[in-house]
Structure 1
Amino acid sequence: MRLRLLALMSGTALTLAVLTDPAAAVDTTVTFTVTSGALTITAPAGPVSLGSAAAGNSVSGPIGSITVTDARGGVPTSDWTARVSSTAFVGPSDTVPSSAATYTPGPGTLITGNGTLTSGPGGTLDVQRVAMSYSGGTGNSQATWNPTIAVAIPLSVGLGTYSGTVTHSVA
């Protein structure tokens, strides 16, 4: 009985000594470096269908979320401008020119950043247009918007599915 009590006391004293002895604590300094990233833009890969309509009418619809991520960490500022344009829309027997397509960016949503996000004016896609711009912010930013594309279908085009490529870029 005496041996058991001594062992228990010895174990308790040892455990308390380990738990309360500050010499047993060890600190580790951990470091990391934040580096400059890239300016990127993402858009739906498609195909995105705008629906169907008879010649002489229009089709219209959203093409999905466009997102710009600026991880360049700009100081004093990291401004950017996203632009959009389109190829012609080619069908089985005819082509609808890109000037028949219009782009409406709609409002943008600033996810990260402290600058000003501004929607472009929209317009036909036969020339490169400003879709969205960001200015006056410091550090990184991220923004998204969901544009609508409308295509006025000429009365003269033949039946079938027409396909074109809408290109977004950022600089």
Structure 2
Amino acid sequence: MRTAKICLAGAAAAAMVGFLAAPASAAPTDTTTTTFEVLVGTLDIDAPATADLGDGAPGGTITGQLGAVTVTDSRGAADASWVASVTATNFQTGGGTPAETVLATEIDYWSGPSTTTTGTGTFTPGQATAAAAAPLNNVTLLPAFTHTGGTGGNTATWNPTLIVHVPLDSIAGVYTGTVTHSVA
């Protein structure tokens, strides 16, 4: 009787091992939680290194374009608004006496419309038309272009025009100054 119980117990154990060792059946679908990160970029402005506006006589005007100015916003912000501004130094020739200086305020800036834009939101020139041209200043920033709303990345490019009101008492020479664009 004892042998029968041992055989029965052995058979039950063998059946259990067979049951546990049976191949697993695969689920018809499975999911993987996947992540990635979009990094914060930068807000940059790029303007020409040099520009030659041309020439003109004392008491006249000199009008010329500065060249393409581009804002690139890769911050990936939920509100991708920014303001580009411009300022200038006084322009001088020779030793910088009053007759050798054209003040920044004697130079008007006209951003004009954008030449290209990308992204969403509203792009607005600081001075959309020549009639809206405004004097530069070496202290106060003049709005050059703005972007409001939109999300993620965007770009705007414009080609501003400078109008130099040459003082009547200016002496002949090449006048040099700096026009600085910034964005925030």
Question: Would the TM-score normalized by the shorter structure come out above 0.5?
Answer: yes
Aligned to 2:112: 106
Aligned to 1:83: 85
In structure 2, how many angstroms separate the alpha carbons of the residues matched to 1:78 and 1:98? 31
Alignment of 1:1-171 (within 5 A): 33-46=37-50, 48-75=51-78, 77-93=79-95, 94-121=100-127, 122-126=133-137, 127-171=140-184
Aligned length: 140
5+ unaligned residues in a row in structure 1: which ranges?
Answer: 1-30
Normalized per residue, which structure has more strand?
Answer: 1
In structure 2, how many angstroms separate the alpha carbons of the residues matched to 1:158 and 1:136? 48
In structure 2, how many angstroms separate the alpha carbons of the residues matched to 1:137 and 1:110? 16
Q: CA deviation at 1:110?
A: 4.7
Q: CA deviation at 1:34?
A: 2.8
After TM superposition, the score normalised by the length of structure 2 is 0.72
After TM superposition, the score normalised by the length of structure 1 is 0.77
Q: CA deviation at 1:102?
A: 0.4
Partner secondary structure for residue 99 of structure 1:
helix
Q: CA deviation at 1:116?
A: 0.2
Deviations 1:37-89 (A, max 9, x none): 0000000001x1111111111111111000000000011x1100000011000
- Give the aligned CA root-mean-square deviation in angstroms: 1.6
Q: CA deviation at 1:111?
A: 2.7
In structure 2, how many angstroms separate the alpha carbons of the residues matched to 1:129 and 1:89? 17
Q: CA deviation at 1:151?
A: 0.4
What code does the residue aligned with 1:125 have? L
Structure 1 residue ranges (4+ consecutive) displaced by more than 2 angstroms after TM superposition: 31-34
In structure 1, how many angstroms separate the alpha carbons of the residues matched to 2:146 and 2:175? 30
Larger radius of gyration: 2
